[in-house]
Every structure is written in C-alpha cells, then in structure tokens.
Structure 1
Amino acid sequence: MDFSDGDFELREVQKLEGHSDRVWSLAWNPVTAGSSGMLASCSGDKTVRIWQRGPSGSWECSAVLEDTHTRTVRSCAWSPSGTLLATASFDGTTAIWENVGGDFECVTTLEGHENEVKSVAWSASGSLLATCARDKTVWIWEMQPGNEFECVSVLQGHTQDVKMVQWHPFLEVLVSVSYDNSIKVWTEDGDDDDWHCVQTITEASSGHASTVWALSFNSTGDKMATCSDDLTLKLWGTASGISNGIESWQHLSTLSGYHDRTVFSVHWSREGLLASGAADDAIRIFYESRDTDTVDQLSYKMLLKKEKAHEMDVNCVQWNPKEATLLASASDDGTIKIWELSQVSI
C-alpha cells in the first residue's frame, strides 16, 4: 500500500467496555490474532480481561482474570506459543496464566522485585521472560519444565524506575527504557553466562531528554522506535540487524513537533507503520517517506492524527500481528478501542 498517495482514516470498529479503572496495556495473542482473534487487556482495577472475536466479527469479553493481583496490573504479554499470558502488577509480582480451552489458570507467581513491576516481555523463543520495576532493576527469568521459572540474572544499571522491557524479535537481545531518560541494551556474555549492558543511549548520544516510556522493534529487527516525555519519537537502526547481538544502535531520525503532551506508547506494524498514543488523547500514525532529498536520513511523515481517539490519555497502541490494518488502543477512560486503517474513497 502506498501511504504517500491518497488520504487515510482510522475508523472505530468497536469500543470495548468492562474495566472499572484505567486500562494500561494490551497484547494481541500471536497465534489466534486472525479471524478468531484474542486480545488481553490489563487495568488499574486489578484485573485482566480476555477479549475474543466472535463469528459475527464483534468482540466480547470471554474471561476476567482476577483475585490474583492485589494492585494495578500494569503490563501483559503472551508467550510466542499463545498459550501462556504473563501479567505484571504494582503488587510486586508477575503472574503466569495458562490458557486451557479458553479457561485461564494462574500456574505460577514470580516474586522478587521490591515494588511495582512495570513491564513484562517474552523472548522470541519463549524460553526467557524479562520483567522490570520501580526498584530500578530488570530481571531475566528462564522457563523450566512444568511452568516453573528461575531468575537467572538481575540487571542493575538504571538509576530510576524502569518503564518497559522488550526483546528483539528473533535474537536474545533485551532493551529497557527508564525514568532516568536512558535506553539500555542487554545481552548474555557467553564467557560467564551472565547478562551485561552492551550499550547505553542517553541525551548525549542523541537520546531522549526526559523519561522514556516505551519502545518497539520493527518486524525485521533492524529498526527500533522509542517515545518519551520529551514529546518526541526517536528511530534507531543497525547496519545488519545486530547480527551478533552487540552491534550498536545508531540514531536515525527524531520525530518532533507532532506531540504536545507526553508520548506513552509507540508500536510498529508489520508493514512499517508507526502508531503513537499520547496524553493529548490522540493517536498518530506515521509512514516512511521516500523523499529523494533525505536519502541520508530516515524520513517519516504523519499519515493521520485521530483527535479525541479517547476521552483521556492513550496509554497503549498495538497493531494486530496478522491483520496489518487493525489497531487496538487503551486509555485512562477505562475503554479499549479497535480501529481499522483504510484509504478514503474518492
């Protein structure tokens, strides 16, 4: 699809209601994301909701995961197999839920962080899980037989609250972003089997000037986007997709002047579109521009801005991994919305 040709719109397909507090995070099930799609959402109401698309195409809440977390559930993530869901909470724990025929059971709870767990992410192989917290640490857990998990490394290096962790789409390389304004890249050292920080990106190295809230990799793993309280999105790239896990990320471009409030979420679609959600209640979508006068720099332009996408802050935007034009968003207003990106007919 040529995004430079014609006008596009973000059409609201359905508003999902049920949470009684702000919705913090969303995760599409990677296996059932198609016609029988499944979406997880987590909230300040201490619950996780599972939404399923029915035969008619409408989305319904098929399960409510509750009575496990005692405080806000801040982050949720599906395992690559789509059978396990990890949920991270301000109660200091991460719960692992198993989906057995549509019934979800909490099979284990991971403890160790001193306070609020802010993010959880699975590695591409599904064998590793990463968590991060307000205690300034990142923990790496290895999955054992019988849904057991062992903490194999506690990563210390951030000086403030760690907001998000995300694994590279096919390498065991982990990136964390923090309230300390930095981005850190972590890999395992084969010599001592421990994890180490191999790169720190700060404002001095073209990084952000304020809290970094989120990051997203593109589908091929050679680009990364970050978003911040400094009102910018930044794009990063490597020459060969960090083939050895230690190649440095280089600054490619800064998208500024589009947001006038904190940017909370950024997510890359499989077709290379960037969506962002911010405290101005809007969703923006960017596309890569092929302008010949910017050959030496990656150029992204705004495809559209959806004003008042929600009544309050947009905390999370997530493209569907199988349907490239389907986007989900979550908000402080307690709702989730499903959107369809389409070209406006002339």
Structure 2
Amino acid sequence: MALALARGAGGEADAKRQKYTGAELVPALQEQLIHVQHVNRKSGLFGPTMLLSGHEGEVFAGEFSPDGRALATGSFDKGIYLWNVYGECENYGVLKGHANAVLEVHWKHDGTQLYSCSADKSVCVWDPESGKRLKKLNGHTAIVNSMQTSRRGVPYLVSGGDDGTTKLWDLRVRRCVHTFEHQYQILAVSFDDTAERIFSGSLDNTVLVYDMRMRDADPEVLEGHGDSITGLDVSKDGNFLATNSMDNTVRIWDVRPFAGGRNRCLRIMRGATHNFEKNLLRVRWSEKDALLAA
C-alpha cells in the first residue's frame, strides 16, 4: 500500500490533502486498524482463489500443462477449455470435436499436444496452439473412461472403456496395435515409467498389470480395494502406483519390477470420499512425488 501527495506548482501540498499525512497512519498501524500484507505471494494470480467460468456442464477432467502456464479442462458440455494460469486466468481456447462428455485430458510431456477421451467412444489428439484436432482414434464400442500416453520412447497411448477392453494405440500409425480384454468395465489406465507395463483399474475392485513384452499372457492382479477403482497414477520415479477407489481409500503400491513379496500394497490412506454421483475421481502425484492429490 502506498500514499502519494499531489503538490501544486509552488511545491506545496494541496490544502485539502495536506491534512492526510503519513503521521496519521502510525497510530492506526499501532492499533492494528489497518492491516498491511507482509507475506510475499508466490503466485501470479490476481487473487488467492480464481473462479474459472465458461463451461456449460459439469467439469470431469483437468490438468496443468508441463510448464504450469496453462490448464486444460474437459466437461459434460463436450468441450475442452484452455485457461491461462496467471493473471486473470483468461479462457484462451476452446477445443470442439467430441460428441459427448469429455472424461479425461492429458498434455504431452513437452506441452505440444493434448489428448482426451470421451463418452462418444473415441480418443482424440489435439494441437493446443491452433485448436485443431489432429487424430481421432476409434475402436472402442462403449464409453472411453480413461487414457494416458507413454512418458518416453515409442509414442504409445492406452485407453480403457466400458466395453471391458484396454487398448494400446501406436500414435505413429493411428491405429490400435493390441487389445487386452476383461469381463468388467475399465475405469482408469496408465503406463509405468518405461511403458513396459500397463495398469488398468477395473469395476471389479482390481488393478490389472499387463506386460507389454508378453501381451498374450495373463495379467498380474493387484487386489485389496473394496470397490471400483476410478483413478491411477504412477509416481515420477516410476516406483509407486497410487490408486483411488470408491471404497473411499487411496492406496500406494510398490510396482518396481523385481520387488519381493506378494502384497505390493504399502499404504492405505483415508479421507478422499466418493459421493452418491459415483463420478470417476482421479488421483495424482506431485512433481517430486512428495504429495498426493485425490
């Protein structure tokens, strides 16, 4: 907070303003009648909380860009909105093309592309700069609940849907290169750090672990949750898997390839609850794996 005194041509303060000098502020400050903010804000937001308005339906998905400067959100209104994170958080782009609700969105590791899946049974690849859809991947016969891309190496994409399939796509050729089948709906999917395994969270309370090198082999099964698994995320170091379930728990699993012991569940955390809507609530690790959000 700063005060400025306007001075006339003769260098004297205007008579009307002269009675308000800095001396009057001292007692007020001492009596704590005026609060001066001394904390240096670490955010570029104009306020501590910014309300982003624009979607015409429920918002089901959201993810920050790798550089932290943009936010992509997907909604029941079939659109993907792009927002600036700093300043007034303007909506600078809308991606249209899905014919039903957008259920999950992810950025490419370098921020040059955006991926989405929808209840219209498709997965799309977008250019966030131009707003154009680059690819549309069709193959699922029911709602596509989740998708994720590989972090490095071959540009793979994995998707899971209500048709009980987990599909592996090679983005270089725009087609599905393998389908893993299951008798129950797949609600969440993810690659491990090296894209050698696929994790699929299912309606039957289990996580299926598919080996990319032995695609026709039976999957390893992670058991422990008491209800459907709605969110999966692999830690940045690739050692741990976080799962969110409708049993109102988040579990951390040791997914190192050669970890000993049959029970890979390391920790059970309670507090993240699902309500009667039974939405697909996700879980995410922080940048340095120090925190989890659910």
Q: TM-score, normalised by structure 1?
A: 0.64
User: Match for 2:240: what amino acid?
Assistant: L
Q: Secondary structure at the match of 2:89?
A: strand
Aligned counterpart in structure 1 of residue 269 of structure 2, from 285, 306, 315: 306
> RMSD between aligned alpha carbons?
2.7
Q: Secondary structure at the match of 2:56?
A: coil
Q: C-alpha separation between the residues in 1 aligned to 2:272 and 2:103?
A: 24
Asked if 1:273 corresponds to 2:240, the answer is yes
CA distance 1:273–1:162, change in 2 (3 Å)? same
Aligned twin of 2:290: 325
Q: C-alpha separation between the residues in 1 aligned to 2:292 and 2:165?
A: 28
Q: TM-score, normalised by structure 2?
A: 0.74
CA distance 1:97–1:309, change in 2 (3 Å)? closer
User: In the TM superposition, what is the alpha-carbon distance from 1:163 to its structure 2 partner?
Assistant: 0.6
User: Match for 2:283: what amino acid?
Assistant: V
Deviates more, 1:178-187 or 1:221-230: 221-230
User: Match for 1:202: what amino acid?
Assistant: E
Q: C-alpha separation between the residues in 2 aligned to 1:163 and 1:291?
A: 30
Aligned twin of 2:50: 63
Aligned twin of 1:161: 143
Unpaired stretches in structure 1, ≥5 consecutive residues:
1-53, 204-208, 240-246, 330-346
In 1, are the aligned partners of 2:150 and 2:194 still within 8 Å (CA)?
Answer: no
Question: What is the count of residue pairs matched by the alignment?
Answer: 245
Aligned counterpart in structure 2 of residue 183 of structure 1, from 166, 179, 189: 166
CA distance 1:84–1:172, change in 2 (3 Å)? farther
Q: C-alpha separation between the residues in 1 aligned to 2:240 and 2:210?
A: 15
Q: C-alpha separation between the residues in 2 aligned to 1:77 and 1:309?
A: 19
User: In the TM superposition, what is the alpha-carbon distance from 1:104 to its structure 2 partner?
Assistant: 1.3
Unpaired stretches in structure 2, ≥5 consecutive residues:
1-40
User: Match for 2:77: what amino acid?
Assistant: D
Asked if 1:218 corresponds to 2:185, the answer is no
In 2, are the aligned partners of 1:227 and 1:265 still within 8 Å (CA)?
Answer: yes
User: In the TM superposition, what is the alpha-carbon distance from 1:252 to its structure 2 partner?
Assistant: 5.0
Aligned twin of 1:3: none
Q: Secondary structure at the match of 2:174?
A: strand
Say which structure is richer in strand: 1
Aligned counterpart in structure 1 of residue 175 of structure 2, from 196, 199, 223: 196
User: Match for 1:163: what amino acid?
Assistant: N
- Where relative contact order (Cα < 8 A, 6+ residues apart) is larger, the structure is 1
Q: C-alpha separation between the residues in 1 aligned to 2:55 and 2:50?
A: 16
Q: Deviations over 1:260-312 (max 9, x none)?
A: 211111222134122211111112222248566x7xxxx55221223454374
Q: C-alpha separation between the residues in 1 aligned to 2:269 and 2:71?
A: 30
